[in-house]
Structure 1
Amino acid sequence: MEKTMGSAALTKPSVQLPRVVLSVWLLLVCCSLTAFGMESHIVYLGRRHESIHPDVVVASHHNMLASVLGSTAAAKDALLYSYKHGFNGFAARLSSAHISAVSQIPGVISVFPNKRNNLLTTRSWEFLGLEKANENKVFESSLWKKSNFGRDIIIGSLDTGVWPESESYSDDLIGTIPRRWKGSCIPGTAFNATNCNRKLIGARYYIKGYEAENHHLNLTALGDFLSPRDSSGHGTHTSSTAAGSFVQGANLFGLGNGTAKGGAPLSRIAVYKVCWPRDSKGGECYDSDILAAIDQGIHDGVDVFTLSLGSSPPLPEFFEDGIAIGAFHAVQKGIVVVCAGGNDGPTPATVANTSPWIITVAASSIDRIFASSVVLGNNKTYVGQSLSEHRLKNKIYDLVLSEDVGAATANKTSSKLCFSDSLDPKKVKGKIIVCQRGITPRAAKGNVVKLAGGSGMVLYNAPSQGDEIFPDAHLLPATHVNAKDGSDIVAYVKSKSKPVAYISPVTTVKGSKPAPVMASFSSQGPNSLTPDLLKPDITAPGLDILAAYSEVSSPTGLPADNRVVHFNVESGTSMACPHVAGIAALLKAHHPDWSPAAIKSALMTTGTHLDNRRKEILNGSFQTAGPFNYGAGHIDPNKATDPGLVYDATTEDYDYFLCALKYNQSSYKSITGREVHCPKSASSISNMNYPSITVSNLVGTQTIKRTVTNVGAGNTTYNVSIKMPRGISVSVHPPQMHFLFKGESKSFVVKLQASRTASGRYTFGHITWRDGRHTVRSPIVVRPISTGSR
């Protein structure tokens, strides 16, 4: 249902309406779409039965809308999308009265607004163990080799589009397109069907939901393309991270130089552009467009969906959320869905995309930094980070605090933070300026210094911002240092009559420790929607990731930055998500019989909670992290290839989850397409067969059941070990399980008992099954509530 402007323009008849008639017609259209509080909403009707033809589904949507709006013509005019392949529903412009009427129609599960979602490499795959650092060849045990680099798996990327000319989409090593592929390459502004190839096998765009909320896209003002072409670079970066081809000599200004590649380099990429700019600062991705893309992707033949987008709390209910609905039906079809966990950390309970059928990804670092040091006149050196291509000409410059060279019209705070027009050019010229991080973008502060005539910038964290620092492609020589180093530098400037400094050129440093470290921005648990389900599920590289980029977007995104780059370094859970999607594609290629739940389980139970020092992973404040930061741990692709046991989720497991959500029986049948029989006793989400165990309110004793399936060799015995959460007694029965054959399933129960002095705070532990070859680890997250505090 996407627009096809390029092709439609060739066949549209030329009809000249009289000016008065045209004005009346436009007025009627305007009134029909915007008057009386008409707003875009999604009507969700559940699963589409395979026996019903998609055209019949569309006709039923017209009939349903016509019964409310009064005519078929009005229904067609109001309809934005019909979801007819993977599930049943539609998006339409409706008034509050229409919504009330539609909600009463039998078979309607939910009616909800067209919600806006936000957009949330040469080293990372080496860091994850998929290739050798020095010999530039694949490990014999590498998942790359075992999966043939994910050959012919199709990854569907829902994002801002694609820059098809990037070498990351080269099809030189790619064979013919799989015959099962049903997708298309849709032309539009600056994009033709020939932009697709054997690598980039599909490209579509969806904008009706965006335009229903924001009116028509202003191409001139926003610089975007009414086509699958990517103007922001975000979609190009994420899809190439998931499955980009091998590109030698990839770098940003000579930094991070190496061979770029995606997680599954021989997989195919299908792009579904669903995100559009609201202004120059960011993009928006509407539920109705997302649902249309997932619906089409299911039909096209996608194997793995990657969505680096989502919303912030308060989160909508699962079946009033476009991503959750689309993902549910994709997983029903055996499609893996991977989503970013969000960038609202370090605030607790901010993680997004929390449904159990989604793999939710947090962001952490790799062992590579882009180092640029500040050398003071007292010979002390402080190592910061930067991606600046610019170098200082001399070895010594006057060093001043930005608040001491403020403009006469600016207050101390704005000068300290280097806001626009806050510096006095006469006092700044030729000096290195020390600015504090905060409020405005980091690179924008550097541009303020540059416009004022400064030679360089030292950016430092406030005490509350701690040790986490970021490299930016500054427009002048600049580096970013942590709070402690920043405090030392400020103290030096204040103590000297003529303080001086030098900023060294940026160098790429590999093997840095500790790594991984959790990103402070990565959204954290607990799960705000269903606290008895741990989210995020896993963490993956999301800091300073080098990948392909749009050539109409600068590396900083600043209006003053007109540089064109083929690759860019980006950070966010948006970057972590496609890492997991690429690995999921490898696992799907190596284990085509595994379900999406089995793939998730393999990733989670083999994740590590240790860094490259063999110590506990740290958070962004360099304190010990935990499951609310990283879920089950940091991803280990090679171990996930052979996890030993998996916690699979059958249709009955999802039924059990739906029962715990307390939908009515008719809704269950509509969602799943079959009868769902809920147990008479109250269902607990904690009992869903998930690779982690979470109980958000433990009073006294609770017993949790889990079932594991042997995906390794037969005739093997697993023994359990337990790390008990503080204040919780944990026992597992049976403590030993013997599997005679591959594919055999066995159940066990975990008994949790809170002490009488329970604190009411979350506490963490884990259970681990071992057979001498495999280690199958599941986190335990418990909040004990003492009887006296109920």
Structure 2
Amino acid sequence: MESSNCAASRSMRSNSAPAFLLVLLCLLLQSPSALAGSVKPSYIVYLGGHPRRAGVSPAEASLSATESHYDLLGAVLGDREKAREAIFYSYTTSINGFAASMEPAEAAEIAKYPGVLSVFPNRGRKLQTTRSWQFMGMERNSGEVPRWSAWDVGRYGEDTIIANLDSGVWPESRSFDEGEMGPIPDDWKGICQNEHDRKFQCNSKLIGARYFNKGYAAASPAPLDTALMTPRDENGHGTHTLATAGGAAVRGASAFGYGAGTARGGSPRARVAAYRVCFRPINGSECFDADVLAGFEAAIRDGVHVISASVGGDAFDYLEDAVAIGSLHAVKARITVVCSASNSGPDPGTVTNVAPWILTVAASSMDREFTAYAVFNHTRVEGRSLSERWLHGKGFYPIINAADAALPGTKPSDAQVCLMGSLDPAKVKGSIVVCVRGAIPRVEKGEAVRHAGGAGMIVINDEVSGNDLHADQHIVPAVHISYAEGQKLLAYINTTK
């Protein structure tokens, strides 16, 4: 065990740097990934819009569009019944097109047909502050809403219907309490899709919820379980983004005890609806284009006024971009679409979702830092943490590089990133363990440290992560520090062996 000593403590610091504009929503997602090799590829065939025909009911028009999709793909496959089996989405309301499983050669062939605007893969995408409303002048620091502020003039978004295309929603969240909201507007056409989760209930605030998983299923090598057949949010991303857009006022909210106050969305009196199009990661991607388009079409059909499309990826031609296509048809239906500009940057070419019909919002910075410190060799290093417990500054603990604490038979590279079961309790017990960022979520590294008997953890960035720091709610006393500071710490450990 290493003989060097380390102490950790934490505090919160507020500075005066202004937060950038956070309009309504959207924490964007990033980048496509390769599908599993054992899964048949799937593609989206985009045909534009639907012609208006007098005297034809919506149901008849939808059926006619679906049949035309079978005819088109059937001509390529040589069998109309095979086309029926291959197509898992027909877009028949606003968007004209379909999503189907097919071979690359078949996709290339159908792209040659008259009337086909584009054919592109069912790509996967990734999921992408505290005083924003005061910064925007919507309320004062005291909580008072000035006369003629956007909230006052817009009646807090009363009866605006906001749709969120994301990872779903947790309906029990206080942000979606119905309070004194009146009856649901008569022009709402949506549903609360809960056939596999009867505990999922909508109300007059959260007025609708749907899920779209066929594109995800087409990319998945395993059958879907019932947790993927519900609008219920599994990771919190969709709940957060929808609450940011239209969450009701929640007094006494805080980030694990920090920054206490009243949390509310940009339109706290709006009605909200969740469209789950993002699920557990497959090769790093949670949201697939076929589902994203299905979500757009359903939101248009349901009669929403605003769509928060919190999905994104690498930039493609607009005719091969599901967000660009879906948002275009939404705007044609007089729906405002809001997306963020991605989680990348500030390098050139990293902004996405910039089709001219989309309201694109830059990522936000905060004027608040959740600061924690690691103390070693008479040096105090600043980092970030939201640990509920910490090691007192007067106490000193042995510190060890996780790579030097590998369980016999375990690769040092696995121990270095603190994979569960990779650390040797005989070396780790009672020590602060230094784990390198990457491979698994940062909080899971703390679980591995606790499992091995460690007293605390320091997460150090790899070179790529640089100075990118995160305040996580760790289950052990922990702090996240930069790559440069991490290298100093490792050098110190090496000199004390």
The question of a shared fold, defined as TM-score above 0.5 by the shorter chain, is answered with yes
Change (3 A) 1:69 1:415: closer
Conserved? CA contact 2:433–2:454, under 8 Å:
yes
Deviation track 1:318-361 (CA, whole Å, cap 9, x = no partner) reads: 11222211111112222222223333446543333242222333
CA shift for structure 1 position 200: 1.1
Per-residue CA deviations over 1:462-481 (Å, capped at 9, x if unaligned) read 56644432111111011123
Give, in whole Å, the separation in 2 of the partners of 1:59 and 1:272: 26
**Aligned-pair RMSD on alpha carbons?**
3.1
Which stretch shows the higher mean deviation, 415-424 or 285-294? 415-424
SS across alignment from 2:239:
helix
Conservation of the 8 A alpha-carbon contact between 2:127 and 2:310: yes
1:229 to 229, 232, 244: 232
Retained in 1: the 8 A contact 2:41–2:102? yes
Structure-to-structure mapping, 1:189-588, within 5 angstroms: 189-191=196-198, 195-214=201-220, 217-219=223-225, 224-278=227-281, 284-312=286-314, 315-345=315-345, 348-376=348-376, 378=378, 380-392=379-391, 395-402=394-401, 405-407=404-406, 417-420=417-420, 423-461=423-461, 465-483=465-483, 485-486=485-486
Q: 2:173 aligns with which of 160, 166, 176?
A: 166
Q: Counterparts of 2:342 and 2:316 in 1: how far apart (Å)?
A: 15
Q: Which residue of 2 aligns with 1:42?
A: 44
The residue number in structure 1 matching 2:5 is none
Match of 1:183 among 166, 172, 190: 190
Distance of aligned partners of 1:422 and 1:216 in 2 relative to their CA distance in 1, 3 Å threshold: closer
Distance 1:45 1:463 in 2: 45
Q: For 1:163 and 1:218, how far apart are their aligned partners in 2?
A: 20
Contact 2:124–2:285 at 8 Å: present in 1 too?
no
Judged with a 3 Å threshold, the aligned counterparts in structure 2 of structure 1 residues 282 and 236 are, in CA distance, closer, same or farther, namely farther
- Check conservation: 1:157, 1:270, Cα contact below 8 A: yes
Contact preservation (8 Å) 1:160, 1:274: yes
In 1, Cα distance between the equivalents of 2:403 and 2:112?
66
Aligned to 2:84: 76
Q: In 2, Cα distance between the equivalents of 1:253 and 1:424?
A: 31
Distance 2:337 2:99 in 1: 22
| Residue 46 of structure 1: how far off its partner (Å) | 0.9
Code of the residue aligned with 2:399 in structure 1: it is: V
Instruction: State the alpha-carbon separation in 2 of the partners of residues 91 and 340 from structure 1.
Output: 26
Q: 1:92 and 2:100 equivalent? A: yes
Q: Provide the residue aligned with 2:115 in structure 1.
A: 107
Q: Distance in 1 between matches of 2:302 and 2:113?
A: 31
Q: Deviations over 1:334-393 (max 9, x none)?
A: 222222333344654333324222233332321122222334574x54432211112337
- 1:240/1:74 Cα in 2 relative to 1: closer, same or farther (>3 Å)? same
Structure 1 pair 489/87, CA: closer, same or farther in 2 (3 Å)?
closer
Distance 1:362 1:182 in 2: 32
For the 8 Å contact 2:130–2:366, the answer to whether it is kept is no
Question: Take 2:463 and 2:215, find their aligned partners in 1: how far apart are those partners?
Answer: 43
SS of residue in 1 equivalent to 2:207: strand
Cα distance in 1 for partners of 2:76, 2:423 equals: 61
Alignment partners' CA distance in 2, 1:71 and 1:374: 67
Q: Which amino acid aligns with 1:383?
A: E
Kept in 1: contact 2:403–2:413 (CA 8 A): no
Displacement of 1:232 in angstroms is: 2.1
Structure with bigger RCO (C-alpha 8 Å, 6+ apart): 2
User: Quick check: which has more Rg, 1 or 2?
Assistant: 1
Conserved in 1, the CA contact under 8 Å of 2:400 and 2:428? no
In the alignment, what sits opposite 2:12?
none
TM-score norm. by structure 1 comes to 0.52
Q: Which runs of 5+ in 2 are unaligned?
A: 1-38
> Could you tell me how far 1:437 is from its partner in structure 2?
3.7
Shift of the 112–496 alpha-carbon distance from structure 1 to 2, 3 Å rule, reads closer
How many angstroms apart in 1 are the aligned matches of 2:86 and 2:241?
Answer: 34
Which deviates further from its counterpart, 288-297 or 355-364?
A: 355-364
Cα distance in 1 for partners of 2:87, 2:131 equals: 46
Q: Which runs of 5+ in 1 are unaligned?
A: 1-36, 498-790
1:401/1:86 CA distance change after superposition, 3 Å:
same
